[in-house]
């Protein structure tokens, strides 16, 4: 084969592969449970722990409960608006409700809520998904992974649990 043909084939394969981006979609569990009582809320968390992927909608419900103790919102758009109005989520966030939430999005919200300052880079540029993820891994709130990776249900539940127990001390 000619060198040009090999280069073209290589480029075609590179553009056709999915790479590291989060393209997973799942059904949101939030709509399956009655959140008006503790039993429905416990069923949600138990169901989420068994989910292969945590959706944006489910993650935002859990993050609002972390920050507000309760999630009074009935829609995904209301959850996004609440997180943005409280300075926890970037104003330009545009993820779909059933898309897999990324570690970076969750880490960013948690760092902002817990007012984690981070290291030099995070202090200079703020709680970007990259630096927030690294900081939560360092603080042992989140398991190791990159900011673009999706969180499984059990990983999300564990992260929320550790964030609830965080006392501000560096390990």
* pTM, rounded to two decimals: 0.80
What values do phi and psi take at 134, rounded to 5? -60, -40
Could you read off the pLDDT of 99-153 as tens digits, one per residue?
Answer: 999 999 999 999 999 999 888 888 888 889 999 999 999 999 999 999 999 999 9
The better pLDDT of the pair 81, 127 is held by 81
Q: Are 95 and 22 contacting, i.e. CB atoms less than 8 angstroms apart?
A: no
CA distance 22 to 146: 11
30: Cβ contacts below 8 Å, ≥ 6 apart: 44, 57, 58, 61
Could you read off the pLDDT of 28-74 as tens digits, one per residue?
Answer: 766 666 666 787 788 888 989 999 999 999 999 999 999 998 889 88
Q: Are 60 and 102 contacting, i.e. CB atoms less than 8 angstroms apart?
A: no
The tokens for 138 are: 């360092």
What pLDDT is stored for residue 32 in this prediction?
61
What pLDDT is stored for residue 35 in this prediction?
61
SS3 call for 76: helix
The tokens for 10 are: 């290589």
Tell which residue, 83, 78, 91, has the closest CA to residue 64.
83
């Amino acid at each position: 084969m000619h060198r040009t043909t090999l280069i073209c084939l290589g480029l075609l394969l590179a553009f056709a592969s999915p790479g590291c981006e989060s393209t997973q979609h799942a059904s949101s569990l939030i709509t399956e449970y009655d959140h008006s009582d503790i039993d429905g809320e416990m069923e949600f968390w138990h169901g989420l722990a068994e989910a292969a992927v945590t959706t944006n909608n489910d993650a935002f419900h859990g993050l609002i409960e972390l920050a507000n103790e309760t999630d009074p919102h009935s829609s995904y758009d209301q959850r996004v608006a609440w997180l943005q109005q409280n300075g926890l989520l970037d104003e330009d966030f545009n993820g779909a409700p059933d898309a897999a939430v990324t570690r970076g999005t969750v880490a960013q919200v948690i760092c902002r809520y817990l007012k984690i300052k981070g290291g030099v880079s995070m202090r200079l540029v703020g709680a970007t998904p990259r630096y927030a993820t690294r900081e939560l891994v360092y603080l042992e709130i989140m398991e190791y992974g990159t900011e673009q990776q999706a969180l499984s249900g059990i990983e999300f539940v564990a992260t929320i649990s550790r964030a609830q127990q965080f006392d501000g001390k560096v390990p």
